[in-house]
C-alpha cells in the first residue's frame, strides 16, 4: 500500500509563513499551523478544486463536517480568518474565493477578527505589522538583492 499526498492551498486565505528555504518564521505561523492541524485531524474533508497553482498545489475551498451536525459544513479558510490566524489572500492575479459572496464573507471575517483582537491581531496596531503577502514580497526582494550581490561580487567566500 502506498500513501500519496495532495498539497492544497486554501483558496482566498493567506496564513503566516512557517520557516522554509532558509527564511525565518513569521509570528503566529506555528499557532496557525497547529490550529489547522488540530481542526482537520481525523476528519473527512471535501475540497472544491479551482485550479493548480505555480507550485503544483491544488487551490481549493475545503469544508469539514462536524459532529453532531454532519449536515452542516464549515469552510476551513473562513474559520481560520475568524480565529484571526490568516488574512484574506491578496495578489495581483490568480486569487480564488469561490465567488464574490465568499470574498465578502472572508473580508468581513478578517475585519471582525481584527476588531476583536483575535490571533495575529491580538495587541496589533497597523504600524510595524507585516501581512503574509508583505512578508513574502520582502523575502523575495531580499533574495533578489542577495543574488545580485553574489553575481556582482563574484560569489560568496571567494578570495580576491
Q: State mean pLDDT over 34-61.
A: 92
| Mean of all residue pLDDT scores within the chain | 84
Which listed residue (43, 51, 57, 133) is catalytic?
Answer: 57
Q: State mean pLDDT over 92-118.
A: 87
CATH of the domain at 52: 2.40.50.90
Residue 125 has pLDDT above 60, yes or no: no
- On whether residue 1 sits in a domain, the answer given is no
CA gap 47, 6 in Å, rounded: 11
Which listed residue (9, 82, 96, 105) is catalytic?
Answer: 9
Helical ranges in the chain per DSSP H = 29-40, 76-83, 100-116, 132-153
- What does the pLDDT read at residue 3? 83
- Are the beta carbons of 50 and 11 closer than 8 angstroms? yes
Active site residue 17: yes
Contacts (Cβ under 8 Å, ≥6 apart) of 52: 58, 59
| Confidence band for 65, pLDDT divided at 50, 70 and 90 | confident
pTM value > 0.75: yes
- On whether residue 3 sits in a domain, the answer given is no
- Whether the link from the prior residue into 68 is cis, omega within 30° of 0, is yes
Active site residue 74: no
- On whether residue 80 sits in a domain, the answer given is yes
Rg value, the chain, Cα: 18
What whole-number percentage of the chain has pLDDT above 90?
45
Amino acid at each position: 500500500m502506498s500513501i500519496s499526498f495532495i498539497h492544497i492551498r486554501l483558496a482566498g486565505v493567506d496564513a503566516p509563513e512557517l520557516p522554509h528555504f532558509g527564511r525565518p518564521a513569521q509570528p503566529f505561523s506555528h499557532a496557525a499551523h497547529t490550529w489547522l492541524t488540530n481542526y482537520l485531524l481525523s476528519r473527512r474533508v471535501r475540497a472544491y478544486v479551482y485550479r493548480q497553482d505555480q507550485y503544483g498545489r491544488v487551490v481549493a475551498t475545503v469544508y469539514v463536517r462536524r459532529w453532531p451536525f454532519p449536515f452542516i459544513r464549515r469552510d476551513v479558510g473562513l474559520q481560520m480568518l475568524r480565529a484571526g490566524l490568516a488574512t484574506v489572500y491578496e495578489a495581483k492575479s490568480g486569487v480564488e474565493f469561490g465567488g464574490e459572496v465568499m470574498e465578502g464573507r472572508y473580508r468581513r471575517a478578517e475585519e471582525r477578527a481584527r476588531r476583536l483582537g483575535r490571533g495575529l491581531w491580538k495587541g496589533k496596531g497597523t504600524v510595524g505589522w507585516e501581512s503574509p503577502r508583505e512578508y513574502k514580497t520582502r523575502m523575495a526582494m531580499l533574495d533578489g538583492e542577495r543574488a545580485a550581490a553574489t553575481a556582482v561580487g563574484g560569489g560568496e567566500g571567494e578570495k580576491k
